[in-house]
Structure 1
Amino acid sequence: MRDRRLSPHSGLISRRGLMKRSLAAAAATSLPLRAFAQDPISVAGIYTVPVEQQWVSRIHIAAEAAKAAGQITYTFSENTANTDYPRVMREYAESGVKLIVGEVFGVETEAREVVLDYPDTAFLLGSSLPADPEYPNLAVFDNYIQDASYLSGIVAGAMTQTGKIGMVGGFPIPEVSRLMHAFMAGVKETRPDAEFQVSFIGSWFDPPNAKETAFAMIEGGVDMIYAERFGVSDAAMEKGILAIGNVIDTQSEYPKTVVASALWHFEPTLQAALANIAADAFKADNYGVFSFMKEGGCSLAPLGTFAGKVPQGALDLVTEREAAIKAGTFVVEINDTDPSI
C-alpha cells in the first residue's frame, strides 16, 4: 500500500528529484548494511508529510537502502493526517507488518493506545516522549544532530558580514529547538557578537509561508539564514544572501546560496532496530543516540561550491571540534528550550 495524497506545494517535483539523488548517494556512501540470515523483515512507514520533506526523507532513504540490500520489504503512506494516523497504524499492524516506522509528535497519546493493541508488532517512532517499559514494543527516536548543527554554525559565523542571522523553523519543539541552540553556539565561536532573529511558521511543510517569513527577516537586515524548513533557501537565493541547510544537503539546488548543511543519517537508527528484531531483542528504548555524530548519525555536508571560500581559521576549528566530538572529549550541549523566547 502507498498513499499518494501529495501536497500541491510548488517545487515538489524538484524535491522528489533531489531525494532520488540523495538515495543514490546514500547507497554509495552510507555505513555498510548489516546482513541478516533470514527472510526480509516487513516494514511500513507512516508519514504526516510528503517523503520529500527534510526530516521524513532521511527515514525513507534509509528504508529504501535496506530494501535494496534485501533486508526488508517496505511500503509507506505519506501525508497522513494526525487524525488518521492511529487508523493507518492499525491497518498496517493488522496486515502483519513486523516493524512500523514514522513520527507521532502530534498524536503521542493515541499512537500509544494502538501500540498496546499489537504487542507482536515493533514500533519505531519519532517522539518527544521518552521510551516507557509500559509500551515494551515501542522504541522512540529523534534527530539528535546537534553535533552537525554546531559545526554548521561555526561556518555560518565565519561567513556572515553583518553578524545578523535569521532562523526559520517549523515548531519550537525540542527536536527543532536543540538544533537551533547548537547552531547558535557554533556561530558564537567565530562571531561572538552575532544577533539572531528566530521565527516559527507553525507547519512542517509550507514552503510559501517559510519563504515569506525569510523575506521579512532579510528585509530586517539578516545576511545569513538558517533554513530549517523548505522555502527559506528560495528566499535567500532570490535576495542574494547565504543560507545554512538542515537535515539534507540542498546545495545542488542552491549552489550560490547554501554554504553548509547539517546532515542526518537515519541508517544507524534503522539498522539497530532491524538487528534487535532479528535477534528477538526489540524493546522500549531510546534510539535517539544513533543520531549522534560518534555513531555515524550526522555529519557536516561537504562545502562543495563554497570550498575555498570559507576562512581557513573556521575550517581548522571545524576539524578540531569534529575530532573531539567523535572522541567524546567535546560535547555539544542539548538545549531543548524555545530559542525565540
Structure 2
Amino acid sequence: MSRITTTRRAAIAAAITLAALGPAAALAQAKLKVAGVYTVPFEQQWVSRLHKALKAAEARGEIEYKASENVANADYERVMREYATGGNQLIIGESFAVEAAARKVAKDFPKVAFLMGSSGKPQAPNFSVFDNYIQEPAYLTGMIAGGMTKTNRIGMVGGFPIPEVNRLMHAFMAGAKETNPKVEFTVTFINSWFDPPKAKEAAFAMVDKGADILYAERFGVSDAAKEKGKLAIGNVINTQDKYPDTVVASALWNMEPTIDLAIRNVKEGKFKAEDYGQYSMMKHKGSELAPLGTFEKKVPAELVAKVKAKEKDILAGKFTVKVDDSQPKSTAK
C-alpha cells in the first residue's frame, strides 16, 4: 500500500469533516463571490467607501470581488442581472435612482444576497439596505466650523437634496449653531453626484457673499476654498492630505462594519432582508471625526475640548444627534 503523507492525511480528514458539516460549512470555507454596481466613479466620495471596504475584504482573501463603475441608470438592471446570473452570491451598490429596477432583480434572484444603499425599507427575503448615517461626526465638524468662522457665514454645497445629504447638512448646521449662535448658512444643490466644476462655481459664489468656511459635500468645493484662501469641512472621506491648509476637519464614513457583517452573514447562511444603517454610526465604528492633523494647533484648545466632550457624550449615549431628512434652507440674507 502506498504511504499517505501527513499533509495528505490531514487534507482528507478536513474534506470528510467539511462534507459532514454540509453545504453551509463548505460555503463558509470558500471565497465568497461579490459584485459591486456603481453609477459613479470609484473615486466618488460615497462609492469610494464601499469600494475600499470590499477591496480590504478581497485583500484578506475572504472574497472574490468584481465591480462596475459609471453604470448609467438605464443599464443598471442589466448589469445587476449579469452579476446575479454569473454566480455572485452578494451584490452591493447604490439603488437610489434605480430603486424599482434593483428590487425587481432581487425578486428574480431570491438566493442571491443584495445589500443596497437605499432610502427605502428592506425587501424580504434577500434585499437589505444601508445608508450613510454619519450625522454624529457631521455634527462635530459643524461645531468646529462654528467656532472657526470669522464672518459668521458658512457656504454649503450639496449634490441632490435627498435624505442621505440633507441629514448630514442639518447635523452640521446644528453643530455650528451650538458653538456659534450667530452663524448663517448659504445652501446650494448642484443636482449632480459628480460635477466638480459646477460645485466649484457654486462655492465661489458663496465666498463672494462672505462665506469663509465651505462645507464640501461634493468634490470641487475644497478646490474653490483653496483658491480663495478659505477653509473647508470634508464629508464622507478625508482629503486633508490633498488640501493641508484648507480642510480643517472631516466626518468620515467607514463601511467596513457594514460590509464585513454582510459578508459574514452570507457565508454563515444568515443573510436576510434587514436595515444595516445603524452600522454606520459611531458606536459601531461606522463613522468618526477625522484627526485634525495639520489643523491640530490651529483649532483653539477650548473648541477642541468642547468637541471632545460632545464626542464622548455621543458614544456614551448621553447625546443624540437629530436625524432631519428634510431639505435644508439658506438662512443668510
TM-score, scaled to structure 1: 0.88
Q: Which residue of 1 aligns with 2:157?
A: 168
- Quick one: which amino acid aligns to residue 75 of structure 1? K
Distance in 2 of aligned mates of 1:312 and 1:103 = 40
Q: Which residue of 1 aligns with 2:51?
A: 60
Trace 1:230-249 onto structure 2 (pairs within 5 A).
230-249=219-238
Deviations 1:90-139 (A, max 9, x none): 0000001000000011011111111100011100000011213xx31000
Distance in 2 of aligned mates of 1:44 and 1:106 = 19
Trace 1:94-109 onto structure 2 (pairs within 5 A).
94-109=85-100
Deviations 1:261-304 (A, max 9, x none): 00000000001111211221111100010000011000011111
Q: Which residue of 1 aligns with 2:83?
A: 92
- Quick one: which amino acid aligns to residue 130 of structure 2? F
- 8 Å CA contact 2:135, 2:172 repeated in 1: yes
In the alignment, is residue 81 of structure 1 matched against residue 59 of structure 2?
no
2:289 pairs with 293, 300, 304, which one? 300
Distance in 2 of aligned mates of 1:178 and 1:130 = 17
Deviations 1:3-33 (A, max 9, x none): xxxxxxxxxxxxxxxxxxxxxxxxxxxxxxx
Deviates more, 1:308-317 or 1:331-340: 308-317
Identical-pair percentage: 61
Q: CA RMSD in A?
A: 1.0
Distance in 2 of aligned mates of 1:276 and 1:45 = 17
Trace 1:35-74 onto structure 2 (pairs within 5 A).
38-74=29-65
Q: Which residue of 2 aligns with 1:319?
A: 308
Trace 1:1-341 onto structure 2 (pairs within 5 A).
38-132=29-123, 135-340=124-329
Distance in 2 of aligned mates of 1:110 and 1:67 = 28
Distance in 2 of aligned mates of 1:332 and 1:284 = 26
- Quick one: which amino acid aligns to residue 143 of structure 1? N
- Quick one: which amino acid aligns to residue 175 of structure 1? E
Distance in 2 of aligned mates of 1:202 and 1:234 = 19
| Distance apart, 1:340 and its partner CA | 2.4
- 8 Å CA contact 2:28, 2:268 repeated in 1: no
Distance in 2 of aligned mates of 1:173 and 1:162 = 29
SS of the counterpart of 1:84?
helix
Distance in 1 of aligned mates of 2:302 and 2:325 = 29
| Distance apart, 1:197 and its partner CA | 0.3
Deviates more, 1:237-246 or 1:321-330: 321-330
Distance in 2 of aligned mates of 1:111 and 1:57 = 20
SS of the counterpart of 2:43?
coil
- Quick one: which amino acid aligns to residue 173 of structure 2? M
Distance in 1 of aligned mates of 2:38 and 2:28 = 29
SS of the counterpart of 1:289?
helix
TM-score, scaled to structure 2: 0.90
| Distance apart, 1:37 and its partner CA | 5.2
Deviations 1:28-84 (A, max 9, x none): xxxxxxxx9511111000000000000000000000000001111101000001111
Distance in 1 of aligned mates of 2:104 and 2:64 = 26
Structure whose CA Rg is larger: 2
| Distance apart, 1:319 and its partner CA | 1.0
Distance in 2 of aligned mates of 1:110 and 1:340 = 32
Gap regions ≥5 residues in structure 1: 1-35
| Distance apart, 1:189 and its partner CA | 1.3
Distance in 1 of aligned mates of 2:62 and 2:132 = 23
| Alignment: residue pair count | 304
| Distance apart, 1:141 and its partner CA | 0.3
Deviations 1:204-249 (A, max 9, x none): 0000000001011111110001000000000000000000000000
- 8 Å CA contact 2:33, 2:64 repeated in 1: yes
SS of the counterpart of 1:302?
coil
Q: Which residue of 1 aligns with 2:17?
A: none
- Quick one: which amino acid aligns to residue 289 of structure 2? L
